[in-house]
Amino acid sequence: MSTDSRFTHKIWQEQELSKMVEGGVPFPMLSDAGGRIGAVYGVYDEAAGVDIRGRFIIDPDFVIRAMEVLTPEVGRNPAELSRQIKAFQHVARTGEVTPSGWNPGDTTLTPGPDLVGKVWTKWKP
């Protein structure tokens, strides 16, 4: 989502994204004309009339689980976004917790008093 028009998104998808990702990105791009949605999330720069680049992971109950805001000069990491979504899904499904850098199949932690002072025995960063 950005303050760009749907026409700008269409050109971006056809001229740029489709050359980087086969078939283009597999989700719709939305226009936030006027920055109303960006303002709610705290990323709308009213003076410039644009949404600052940010990403939000929002769970099915509409709770923001993660957010990252970057200036345009620094690119985002789609692989890290995907990893975090998988970690949040795993936590919701199992009740386990995932240490930093966790990927599916890696060691998880079970929260509780038995873990206190012993995380180092289970997690080797």
Q: Do 29 and 14 fall within a single domain?
A: yes
Does one domain contain both 44 and 15? Answer: yes
Q: Looking at the structure, do residues 42 and 61 belong to the same domain, yes or no?
A: no
Question: Does residue 48 share a domain with residue 27?
Answer: yes
Looking at 52, 67, 95, the residue that finishes a domain is: 52
Give 7-21 pLDDT, tens digit per residue.
999 998 899 988 988
Is there a contact between 24 and 14 (Cβ–Cβ < 8 Å)?
Answer: yes
**For the chain, how many structural domains are there in total?**
2
Where residue 29 falls among pLDDT bands split at 50, 70, 90? confident
Determine the Cα–Cα distance for residues 1 and 38; give it in Å rounded to an integer.
9
**Looking at the domain assignment, is residue 116 inside a domain?**
no
**Can you give the pLDDT at residue 87?**
97
| 6 within domain boundaries | yes
Average pLDDT on 91-108 reads 93
Q: Are residues 12 and 46 in the same domain?
A: yes
pLDDT score, position 108? 92
End-to-end CA distance of the chain: 35
Count Cβ atoms below 10 Å from residue 74 Cβ, excluding itself.
8
User: Does some domain include residue 62?
Assistant: yes
Q: Using one digit for the tens of pLDDT, what is the confidence trace for 55-86?
A: 999 999 999 999 999 888 888 888 899 999 99
Boundary of a domain, candidates 35, 52, 69: 52
Whether 124 shows a pLDDT value over 80: the answer reads: no
Q: Are 46 and 63 part of one and the same domain?
A: no
For the chain, what is the mean pLDDT? Answer: 90
Question: Considering the domain boundaries, does residue 99 fall inside one?
Answer: yes
Interacting residues of 6 by C-beta distance below 8 A, sequence separation 6+: 29, 31
Which residues form the domain of 89? 55-106
Give the pTM.
Answer: 0.78
> 26-49: b or e for each residue (b if 16 or more CB lie within 10 Å)?
eeebeebeebebbeebebbeeeee
In this predicted structure, what is the pLDDT of residue 60?
93
